[in-house]
Amino acid sequence: MNQLEALKQHSTVVADTGDFLQLAQFQPQDATTNPSLILKSVQKPDYAPLLAQTVARFGGRPSDEIVDRLLVRFGCEILAIVPGRVSTEVDARLSFDTAATIERAERLMALYQAEGVPSDRVLIKIAATWEGIEAAAQLERRGIRTNLTLLFAFCQALACAQARVQLISPFVGRIYDWHKKQAGSQWDEAARAGEHDPGVQSVRRIFEYYKRFGIGTEIMGASFRNCGQIVALAGCDLLTISPELLAQLAQPVASTDALPRALDADAARELDLQPLQHDQASFRLALNEDAMASEKLAEGIRAFCADSVRLEQLIAARQGR
């Protein structure tokens, strides 16, 4: 048994990619995408025809609609391979507009339904801003399941729990990146590895709180930099992993030792924790007080916005604009 097979005994494995031709070999349950992953894929020869076909079919429509149709096309291709769900992201430029986020999410879901995809196989990804979380709360009440992404702070996880969203994606690797950069030459990689990794510790705190208070929102660790971070979160509800790291986990290993469960829901239920909650003012203050989370959330939104623009530019180029 390799580490990937062992990991699947503790957590649901999700592929984090738009490169759906790689999916079958790893047999993930679900898959996640974002504008950056789709942009990367459509620039490869294997996927360029999907962009060309989408533009040829819907070229007279507004560019934002064509982007959504392209995202759904990728999502449908992924769902033909994975047995579970696909996450498709709302344009990050709407991250601070609740009404526009709801409108775009409903359009994405309508496009999936027009392709015959049932709603329970789609998660709409939304940045975990206050406005995004409020949009998710309303969408959940309308039967549209959401995945709150770019989650770095405990206050974001609390607000998502209060909103009863389906799933959150705390970003392990980007938290790790920030702390490593801040420490500079003082960073001790060995001392901050595994369970001592700041990104791993962030997810553990959320996991323990959610399980202690019976919160139904699923936790999906995301944005991994190495296999050690993944192994240290075995037992998390889900783990979304890039094809590169899935390939590493799938390598044969000499040891026959079982991969241990690192996160234990039963143990978490026995912890002595106090229930917490946020309103808008306390959420914004808590996020502001967390320099890492504030910086990485803003940075992540900017990057996704830029890649959405680049997707629109590729479409415009195809249209000869």
- 125 is a catalytic site residue: yes
DSSP of 127-150: E-SHHHHHHHHHHHHTT--EEEEE
> Which residue has tokens 């959940």?
140
In sequence order, what are the residues at sequence separation of 6 or more whose Cβ sits closer than 8 angstroms to the Cβ of residue 41?
Answer: 17, 18, 19, 47, 74
Whole-number Å distance between alpha carbons of 98 and 84? 28
Instruction: List, in sequence order, every residue forming a beta bridge with 15; answer none if it has no partner.
Output: 31, 241
The DSSP string of 44-89 is: STTTHHHHHHHHHHHTTS-HHHHHHHHHHHHHHHHHTT-SS-EEEE
| Three-state DSSP state, 249 | helix
From 8, 125, 211, 296, the catalytic residue: 125
Q: For residue 11, give the amino acid letter.
A: S
What is the distance between the alpha carbons of residues 302 and 53, in angstroms, rounded to a whole number?
28
Buried b (16+ CB within 10 A) or exposed e, 93-103: bbbebbebbbe
Q: Which residues of 12-46 are buried (b: 16+ CB within 10 A; e: fewer)?
A: bbbbbbbbbebbeebbbebbbbbbbbbbebbeeee
Residues noted as catalytic: 125
